[in-house]
Amino acid sequence: MSIADSFKQFLTNIKVPNHDQIELRYGEITAALNKEFRDSESKTSNNLQVGSYGRWTAIKGVSDLDMLYIVPASLWETYKDGGQSKLLERTKAAIKARYPRTEVYVDRLVVRVLYKDFHVEVQPVFEQADKSFKYPDTYSGGSWKITKPRDEISAMTEFVSEKNKNLRRLCKMARSWKNKHGVGMGGLLIDTLAHNFLRDTTEYDNKSYLYYDYMSRDFFKYLSELPKQDYFAALGSGQRVRVKSNFQKSAKKAHELAIAAIEAAGKDNESEKWKKIYGKDYPDTVAKAEAAAERYGHRSSEQFVEDLWPVDIRYPLQIECEVTQNGFRETLLREFLRRRLPLRRQKKLRFFIDSCGVPGDYTILWKILNRGDEAFRRKCTRGTISRGGKEITETTDFNGDHIVECYIVKDGVVVAKDRIHVPIE
């Protein structure tokens, strides 16, 4: 398979698979609100799909869907003075009447509708003369703020044609990377930075799939060299897009991995190197684990979180590991690795959540994966995903590369993840 075919298949693999279901939900919510505000049951009028789905940059696993409902202008006088909460509550009641068994609630700016595999955030708005929208904010007694999603959608659409459709594809690939590595970047930030990258270069104006290896490399280099700041100006609208956590270090690692993948062009491990960046949706080759399985007659039981839950990373998470022996604390694992000290057997490892940016209630999942010949020989590859608390304890029983991953699940979606690599000699 050529590099062009590989990236083409990769983008096919990450397409949103439940498009029809999403459109159905959008239509039903719209009909409920049109019935409430206009005595109509149109499923298409007076709404605007926004966010990554509305910009056509979403990928499979997308869980955070956004929709504006345009309230009749004649109602502005009713709600303009302190009526923010009332408008949101009326919106909620109309949707709840349509979905009595679905959880629907007001969350400061929006009405959240929680379905099984995704949720829709509905924002009632008043359209302005310049095509922007006023939306209600219930914080500190209430206020009206401005959003300009049409400008963002237009900028995306125009730029896609100028850059040979590369912008949306790059946005989707970047989402796969951030989900693979647990990079807490919002969708609008990804789209903005991908837009800025292609805006500042003509290298890929006429290129397509054949050059997506180089485009990946250069994009991650671009991200890694951006200054650390609290926000960027969104494409099209210029409104502030908040940076939830720094992404430069992860981008630098991805740049290094992309260089290694390009150097492996034509070799048996080429695809495996790209999978280290983009995850299991990148087209497969024969993995080393399969060769080991044939030798020792043991197949890996590894589970992949994206096969069990939708993955849409939106928040930062950091796990740490404390290394002890005979009850004596030695140091954190990252210090071992930074100082290039060997991690020997018979040590106790305490993995714990050091920081988590996910608000409210959530579920914690852990995965322990043993790699290498010794793991297969002992038939102890593990790799199942299970619930746990804020910390787990393991021991260094045998040599090899080991991976510990932690996932945060909120409302049925994996919204944060982190991993630690544990090399035992």
pTM over 0.85: yes
DSSP string, 296-359: HT-------HHHHS-B---S-EEEEEEEEETTEEEEEHHHHHHTT--B-SS-EEEEEEEEE---
Look up the CATH superfamily of 287-424: Immunoglobulins (2.60.40.10)
237 within 8 A of 149, measured Cβ to Cβ: yes
Residue span(s) of the chain under CATH 3.30.460.90 come to: 19-147
Residue 75 scores a pLDDT above 70: yes
Nearest CA to 144 among 125, 116, 117?
Answer: 125
Please tell me the distance from the alpha carbon of residue 17 to that of residue 30, in angstroms, as a whole number.
22
Q: In a 3-state reduction of DSSP, which class is residue 184? A: coil
**Separation of alpha carbons 315 and 408, rounded Å:** 9
Question: From the CB of residue 77, how many other CB atoms can be counted at a distance below 10 Å?
Answer: 9
Per-residue model confidence as pLDDT tens digits over 257-307: 999 999 999 888 999 999 999 999 999 754 444 555 555 555 667 899 988
φ, ψ of residue 119 to 5 degrees: the values are -130, 155
Host H or E run for residue 360? none
Res. 330 pLDDT band, cuts 50 70 90? low
Average pLDDT over residues 1-23: 94
Name the burial class of residue 68, with classes exposed (0-12), middle (13-18) and buried (19+) by CB atoms within 10 angstroms of its CB: buried
- Is 89 or 420 the better-scoring residue by pLDDT? 89
Is 90 exceeded by the pLDDT of residue 218? yes
Task: Find where tokens 């924002």 sit.
Answer: 123
What is the model's pLDDT at position 64? 86
For the chain, give the percent of residues with pLDDT over 90: 71
Among 64-68, 214-218, 288-292, 403-407, name the one with the lowest average pLDDT: 288-292
Mean residue pLDDT of the chain comes to 89
Question: How far apart, in whole angstroms, are the C-alpha atoms of residue 159 and residue 138?
Answer: 35
**3-state class of 223 per DSSP?**
helix
Assigned fold of 19-147: Beta Polymerase; domain 2 (3.30.460)
User: Which backbone phi and psi does 322 adopt, to 5 degrees?
Assistant: -105, 130
Supply the pLDDT for residue 286. Answer: 47
CATH 2.60.40.10 residue window(s) in the chain: 287-424
